[in-house]
């Protein structure tokens, strides 16, 4: 069975500090991977997607970056957090395109930037 694990569960960070969120998918070879973000009271927005190791495409510019260093790992990061980065971050995977197939989400990371 496939499992998706996100870390950390929650973070409280200061404005201007760096951030690294991680996601690991087990039990599925070469999945498409995604980062989604939802501000409090906002809409779930796709930030990045990756269809293969080393390749990441940006969907929305939020002064964040993403990397896929291994087939089963997806990292979201920034060197300087903004207040507007607060929210709920979800990693997801799919077989085939998310625009046509089921998305399977991780449990998410709640980020508070103070």
Partner 1 sequence: GQQVKQSSPSLTVQEGGILILNCDYENDMFDYFAWYKKYPDNSPTLLISVRSNVDKREDGRFTVFLNKSGKHFSLHITASQPEDTAVYLCAAGGSGGSNYKLTFGKGTLLTVTP
| Candidate list 22, 28, 45, 58; residue touching partner 1; CB under 8 A | 45
Alpha carbon separation from 98 to 41, 61, 94 (Å, rounded): 23, 19, 6
Kindly state the smallest distance separating residue 19's Cβ from partner 1, in Å.
20
44 binds partner 1 (CB under 8 A): yes
32 binds partner 1 (CB under 8 A): yes
Look at the alpha carbons of 25, 31, 37, 38 in this order and tell me if their dihedral is positive or negative.
negative
| Binding residues with partner 1: total (CB under 8 A) | 23
Q: Which is nearer to partner 1, 17 or 30 (CB)?
A: 30
Say whether 16 sits in a helix, a strand or coil.
Answer: coil
């Amino acid at each position: 069975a496939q499992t998706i694990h996100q870390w950390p569960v929650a973070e409280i960070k200061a404005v201007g500090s760096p951030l690294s969120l991680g996601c690991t998918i087990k039990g599925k070879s070469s999945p498409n991977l995604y980062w989604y973000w939802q501000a409090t009271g906002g809409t779930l927005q796709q930030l990045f997607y990756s269809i293969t190791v080393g390749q990441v495409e940006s969907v929305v510019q939020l002064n964040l970056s993403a990397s896929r260093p291994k087939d089963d790992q997806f990292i979201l990061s920034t060197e300087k957090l903004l207040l507007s980065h607060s929210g709920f971050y979800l990693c997801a995977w799919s077989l085939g395109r998310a625009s046509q197939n089921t998305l399977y989400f991780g449990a998410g990371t709640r980020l508070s930037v103070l």
